[in-house]
Amino acid sequence: MSINKLIDLLGKDRVSDSREALDAYRTDYSLASPGTPACVVYPNDSKEVQSIVSIANETSTPVVPVSSGVHFTGAAIPKQGGIVIDMKNMNKIWNLDERNRKITVEPGVTWNQLYPVLAEKNLMVCAPMLPHGDQSVITTFLERSPLVIPLYEYADPMLSMEVVWPNGTLFRTGSASAPTFPKSFSEGVNPEGPGVMDFYRLLQGAQGTMGIVTWSIIKTEYLSPMNKFFFFPFNNLEDAIKPTYMLLRRKIGYDCFLMSKLDMALICAEEYPTDFDVLMKELPEWTLVLALRASRRRPEEKIQYETNAIDDICRKFNGLQYKNSLPGSGHAAIRLTEILRQPWTDEGPYWKHRLTGNSQDLIFITKLSKVPEFTEIMTKVAVEQNFPVSNIGTYLQPIEGARGCHVEFNMFYDPNDEAEKTKVRSLHDAAAKAMQAQGALFTRPYGSLSDMVYERAASYTATLKRVKNIFDENNIMNPGNLCF
C-alpha cells in the first residue's frame, strides 16, 4: 500500500513508516507473537479517522486502532501488518456534568489524565483494579475489565459513544444518535440503540475488530473523603466464600475483593522490596477487603449503619474477625484509600511488574463458590509444569453483587528469560484447558485462549464471523482477531 494518500491527508509529521516508529507497535506486555505494521498514523479527530478507514478500504489494507502505549493482551499487535491508527492525539476531555454524573473523553485520554480532572470536582470513575496510569480509559472499559465496586448498577460505566464503522461511516449509539444531540434532554446518557439493538455491545470486547470508538460518555461517581476499610484474614479460601456472599447480598460497602498474600503484598508495599518482604511474612494467605464509603448526606450515619451490619454478620459466622489495618502495614487502609481512587502512581514498575518484571494473566468467570476448586487446579498444573507456585498470585473480584466472580491468576516471570517465557506459555495453556474442562467461562479470550474457546463453540464462532462480515465486508479492521 502506498502511504502517499495518508501523507496527503495528514501531512508528513503525522504519518511514519520508519523502523523506530513501527517497532513501538510490534509487541506489548503479553506473550503474543510480534507483528510489524506497514505504517503508523496519528489522527486528530473523527473525520480524519473516517478518511483513513476509507483509504484502507480502497486497497483492503488492515487497520489496527491503538489508543495508548500500554497494552496487556496482544489484541493491538498488528498480526497482518497494515496501518496502525494511534489515537494519542485524540485526548480531549469535555462536558463534565456534575449533576448528571458523566464526562466525555476521547480514546487517547489516559487514567493519569482523567483522575485529576475529576478529583477537582470531588468525582471519580468506578475503575478496575489499579489500572496502569498510561492506559486508555476507553480501552479499559471496552475490554470489560471488572470493577472493584461489584454492584450491578456500576457494571457498565460507558454510556453513549461515537464510532467509525469499518466502512468509514460515522455512527453514534444510544441517545447520542438523536438529531438534536448534544442539545437533547438525555444528552447521550442512554447507551443503547437507536432502535431495539444495543449497538454499543458490538464494540465492547470486540478487540478493535468492529470499529473505532472516537469518544465515549463515561459515568462518574461521588469521591467521598470519608472511607473505612475492613480486612478479613483467612488462611483457607473456603472460609471466605460465605461471608463474602452475605456481605454483598446485603449490599454493604463499595470496594470489595479477595486477594492472595502475594498480590496483596505487591500492591500494599509502599517501599519495594523492603515493605514487601515484611508483608509476605505477616499477611494471611487470603484477605477479603471491604471498603465503606460515606455519602454526601449524613455521611457518619451511613458509615455507622454499615459497620453495625458488618458486626452483625461477623456474629452469625461464629465470631468472624476483621481488622482495620493489615498485619505488617499500619498504613494499608490509608494507602488503599489513595490507590483505589486513582491509577497506579508509585515510582518504579507497575504493580504486576514489581516481582520479576512481568505477569501473564489467566482470566475467566465462574461462581464464587467454585473458586477454591480452580485454585487447586492452578496449583496442581503449576507443580506438573515445574513452575514455582510462590510466583503465582490470585485476585478475585466478585461481580454484580457476587452473582459471579472474576478470577485472575497472575503468573509472574522474567520477560528477559526466554526459557521462563516458554514455561509460562505452557503453564498458561495447560491451566486454561484444565479449567475450561471444569466449567471456567472465558469471556475475554486473547491469544492462545481464542482458539481453545472458539473450537468449543463452533456455531457461536460462525455467528460472530457473519456479524463481522456485515460490518466489515473487506475484513480490514484488526484482522486475525475475533470479537467478543
Q: Is the pLDDT higher at 106 or at 481?
A: 106
- How does DSSP classify residue 33? P
Angstrom distance (rounded) from CA 51 to CA 406: 39
Q: How far is CA 316 from the centre of its chain?
A: 35
For range 284-294, the mean pLDDT: 95
Q: Is the pLDDT of residue 421 over 70?
A: yes
Same domain, 139 and 184: yes
Angstrom distance (rounded) from CA 85 to CA 67: 8
Beta bridge partners of 408: 363, 395
For range 273-295, the mean pLDDT: 95
- How much of the chain exceeds pLDDT 90, in percent? 76
The pLDDT of residue 447? 86
Residue 374 is assigned to a structural domain of this protein = yes
Cell, residue 207:
478487540
Same domain, 108 and 211: yes
Same domain, 209 and 267: no
Question: What does the mean pLDDT of the chain come to?
Answer: 93
140: confidence class by pLDDT, cuts 50, 70, 90: very high
For range 39-47, the mean pLDDT: 97
Residue 399 is assigned to a structural domain of this protein = yes
Q: Is the pLDDT higher at 187 or at 421?
A: 421
Measured CA distances, 365 to 39, 337, 352, 435, 444 (Å): 37, 27, 20, 11, 9
Q: Is the pLDDT of residue 162 over 90?
A: yes
396: confidence class by pLDDT, cuts 50, 70, 90: very high
Residue 52 is assigned to a structural domain of this protein = no
Same domain, 132 and 232: no
CB distance 78 to 193 below 8 Å: no
H/E segment holding residue 376: helix 371-384
Q: Is the pLDDT of residue 52 over 70?
A: yes
Instruction: Using alpha carbons only, give the angle 255, 261, 263 rounded to the nearest 5 degrees.
Output: 65
The alpha-helical segments, DSSP class H, found in 415-457 are 418-437, 448-455
152: confidence class by pLDDT, cuts 50, 70, 90: low
Angstrom distance (rounded) from CA 77 to CA 75: 6
339: confidence class by pLDDT, cuts 50, 70, 90: confident
CB distance 228 to 247 below 8 Å: no
- Is 116 exposed, middle or buried, given 0-12, 13-18 or 19+ CB atoms closer than 10 A? exposed
Angstrom distance (rounded) from CA 464 to CA 399: 25
179: confidence class by pLDDT, cuts 50, 70, 90: confident
Domain, as residue range, for 279: 227-339
What's the whole-model pTM score?
0.95
CB distance 181 to 172 below 8 Å: yes
Same domain, 262 and 284: yes
Q: Is the pLDDT of residue 484 over 70?
A: no
The pLDDT of residue 188? 87
Same domain, 316 and 250: yes
Q: Is the pLDDT of residue 161 over 70?
A: yes
CB distance 140 to 72 below 8 Å: no
Residue 37 is assigned to a structural domain of this protein = no
Hunting for cell 476448586 — which residue is that? 373
Provide the CATH number for the domain around residue 313: 3.30.70.3450
Same domain, 407 and 389: yes
Beta bridge partners of 306: none
Angstrom distance (rounded) from CA 55 to CA 15: 14
Total number of domains in the chain: 3
Question: Beta strands 227-234 and 286-293: pairing type?
Answer: antiparallel
Residue 9 is assigned to a structural domain of this protein = no
Same domain, 99 and 218: yes
Residue 34 is assigned to a structural domain of this protein = no
Same domain, 163 and 256: no
Q: Is the pLDDT of residue 154 over 70?
A: no
Residue 439 is assigned to a structural domain of this protein = yes
The pLDDT of residue 288? 97
Angstrom distance (rounded) from CA 138 to CA 67: 8
Same domain, 161 and 97: yes
CB distance 416 to 172 below 8 Å: no
CB distance 107 to 39 below 8 Å: no
For range 133-155, the mean pLDDT: 88
Cell, residue 127:
475503575
Hunting for cell 510466583 — which residue is that? 391
* Domain closes at, from 339, 366, 381: 339
* Domain closes at, from 296, 317, 339: 339
The pLDDT of residue 347? 83
CB distance 410 to 393 below 8 Å: yes
* Domain closes at, from 304, 339, 374: 339
Provide the CATH number for the domain around residue 383: 3.30.70
For range 467-473, the mean pLDDT: 92
- How much of the chain exceeds pLDDT 70, in percent? 99
Dihedral over Cα of 133, 150, 203, 209: its sign: positive
Q: Is the pLDDT of residue 183 over 90?
A: no
Crossing angle for the helix pair 238-249 and 371-384, to the nearest 10 degrees: 140
| Lowest-pLDDT range of 265-274, 318-327, 370-379, 467-476 | 318-327
Same domain, 268 and 309: yes
Q: How far is CA 479 from the centre of its chain?
A: 22
Listed residue (366, 370, 372, 380) closest to 440, CA to CA:
366
Q: Is the pLDDT of residue 151 over 90?
A: no
Residue 463 is assigned to a structural domain of this protein = no
Same domain, 211 and 231: no
- How does DSSP classify residue 321? -
